[in-house]
């Protein structure tokens, strides 16, 4: 007996059309799902939801503000210039007894070499010499010779606008103070830094006034 083979006729154009139709439906479903997800995400990130979820200084206790401020000044290296140094087993290190007290009033500057186009620092990094003259790191403790009596608004003006004593229209802060890096600091972070500095031991250290370049005495 001969086997009978039945051959089915395949309509290729019909298969292609069916495949295209299925793909269109699949794409439409994917786009719809993406649209629904985007709308849901936008609603979750509405201004009201964001405002309620964003951390603000008012939600932190005073101790939490101080702790955050201590963390921020540490990672920003504020001690590098504003705290005097002492020699220890590993070389120069922070003098924790004079934390953030600025350039010591009794520390005299070494002779400034003439004819060198460089910026010079004192060994403790609390004073710097450059084209602007000589600048001294400020006393940031809550002593009257430091930040004692300052308001938060004064502090914010000083660090975000580079104004001496936070006075609008006052003289600019001198290098190497990198106030330009703090222009966009979040208000809650600025408040934390201020709270930390106000919690320090007050140190009565009168930092010298800046020396303009016209009054520099250069050593040959």
Q: What is the mean pLDDT of residues 34-53?
A: 42
Distance of CA 69 to CAs 1, 82, 106, 145, Å?
A: 97, 15, 29, 21
Q: How confident is the model at residue 14 (pLDDT cuts 50, 70, 90)?
A: low
Structure confidence at residue 59 (pLDDT) = 83
pLDDT tens figures, 184-202: 999 999 999 999 999 999 9
**Res 120 pLDDT > 80:** yes
Q: How far apart, in whole angstroms, are the C-alpha atoms of residue 220 and residue 63?
A: 52
Quote the pLDDT of residue 102. Answer: 98
On whether the CB atoms of residues 160 and 183 are closer than 8 A, the answer is yes
Average pLDDT, stretch 201-209? 97
What is the spatial distance between Cα 52 and Cα 219, in angstroms, rounded to a whole number? Answer: 61
CA distance 217 to 114: 9
Q: Give the pLDDT of residue 35.
A: 47
Rounded to whole angstroms, the Cα distance separating 194 from 196 reads 5
pLDDT for res 48? 36
Q: Is the pLDDT of residue 98 over 90?
A: yes
| Per-position b or e across 74-85, b if 16+ CB within 10 A of its CB | eeeebbebbbbb
Whether the pLDDT of residue 44 is over 50: the answer is no
Structure-block tokens of residue 78: 């504020």
Q: Alpha-carbon distance 138 to 206, whole Å?
A: 9
**Which pLDDT score, from 0 to 100, does residue 28 have?**
52
pLDDT value for 51: 37
Given this model, what pLDDT does residue 63 score?
95
The answer to whether the Cα torsion of 193, 194, 197, 198 is positive or negative is negative
pLDDT tens per residue across span 124-180: 999 999 999 999 999 999 999 999 999 999 999 999 999 999 999 889 999 999 999
pLDDT tens sequence across 45-83: 434 333 333 445 558 899 999 999 999 999 999 999 999
The sign of the torsion formed by the CA atoms of 138, 144, 148, 150 equals negative
**Residue 75, pLDDT score:** 96
Which of 10-14, 54-58, 107-111, 140-144 has the highest mean predicted lDDT (pLDDT)? 140-144
Alpha-carbon separation of residue 67 from 40, 142, 215 (angstroms)? 37, 17, 42
Give the residue-averaged pLDDT of 82-101. 93
């Amino acid at each position: 007996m001969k086997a009978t083979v039945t051959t089915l006729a395949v309509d290729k154009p019909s298969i292609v059309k069916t495949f295209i139709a299925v793909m269109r439906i699949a794409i439409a479903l994917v786009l719809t799902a993406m649209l629904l997800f985007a709308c849901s995400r936008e609603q979750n990130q509405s201004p009201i939801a964001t405002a309620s979820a964003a951390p603000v200084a008012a939600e932190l206790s005073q101790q939490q503000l101080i702790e955050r401020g201590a963390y921020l000044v540490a990672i920003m290296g504020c001690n590098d210039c504003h705290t005097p140094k002492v020699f220890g087993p590993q070389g120069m290190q922070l003098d924790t007894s004079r934390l953030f007290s600025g350039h010591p009033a009794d520390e005299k500057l070494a002779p400034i070499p003439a004819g060198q186009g460089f910026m010079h620092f004192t060994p403790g990094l609390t004073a710097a010499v450059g084209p602007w003259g000589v600048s001294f790191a400020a006393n940031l403790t809550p002593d009257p010779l430091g930040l004692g009596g300052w308001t938060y608004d004064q502090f914010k003006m000083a660090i975000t606008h580079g104004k001496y004593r936070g006075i609008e229209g006052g003289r600019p802060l001198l290098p190497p103070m990198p106030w330009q890096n703090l222009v966009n600091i979040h208000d809650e972070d600025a408040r934390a830094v201020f709270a930390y500095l106000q919690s320090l031991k007050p140190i009565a250290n009168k930092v010298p006034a800046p020396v303009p370049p016209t009054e520099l005495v250069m050593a040959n």
